[in-house]
């Protein structure tokens, strides 16, 4: 006879709501959310970013197909990439996007490690990219 075992997802989701509530109240979160909203409201900035991302994707596809890129293509790509960082709204958007992505990776990594180890991982077991200190701890919290 097979027994179906399930996790108590209700309590887990309650704790997830608490975590997300803390995030939404965090001043840093609010500032980064503003960065994203300001970028999204600027049509010129979003169009510039989208054009760059299309070019980025096209060059990645060439690379996957082992098609050699011309020096002129690489030069134009690098100039357009620099132009992104020269634009304050785009630069701040990229920063906020990266911060949110890193937080997402940290949470996912912590969850995965907890399941793998069958316990809460220590800071030095997470690796410096996942502990939340930005790499300054060398695993020694």
In terms of C-beta density within 10 A (0-12 exposed, 13-18 middle, 19 or more buried), how is residue 87 classed?
A: middle
CA dist list (Å): 50 to 16, 32, 53, 55: 33, 20, 5, 9
pLDDT in tens, 28-70: 999 999 999 999 999 999 999 999 999 999 999 999 999 988 8
- Better pLDDT: 72 or 135: 72
Q: State residue 5's pLDDT score.
A: 86
- Contact status, residue 39 vs residue 92, Cβ threshold 8 Å: yes
pTM for this one? 0.78
As given in the structure block, the two tokens for residue 48 are 């510039």
Q: State residue 128's pLDDT score.
A: 64
Q: State residue 2's pLDDT score.
A: 78
């Amino acid at each position: 006879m097979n027994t179906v075992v399930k996790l108590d997802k209700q309590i887990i989701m309650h704790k997830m709501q608490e975590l997300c509530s803390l995030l939404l109240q965090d001043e840093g979160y609010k500032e980064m959310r503003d960065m994203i909203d300001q970028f999204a409201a600027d049509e010129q900035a979003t169009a510039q970013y989208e054009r760059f991302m299309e070019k980025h994707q096209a060059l990645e596809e060439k690379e996957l197909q082992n098609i050699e890129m011309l020096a002129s293509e690489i030069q134009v790509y690098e100039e357009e990439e620099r132009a992104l960082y020269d634009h304050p709204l785009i630069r701040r958007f990229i920063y906020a996007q990266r911060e949110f992505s890193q937080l997402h990776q940290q949470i996912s990594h912590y969850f995965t490690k907890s399941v793998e180890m069958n316990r809460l991982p220590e800071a030095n077991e997470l690796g410096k990219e996942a502990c939340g200190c930005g790499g300054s701890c060398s695993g020694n919290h």
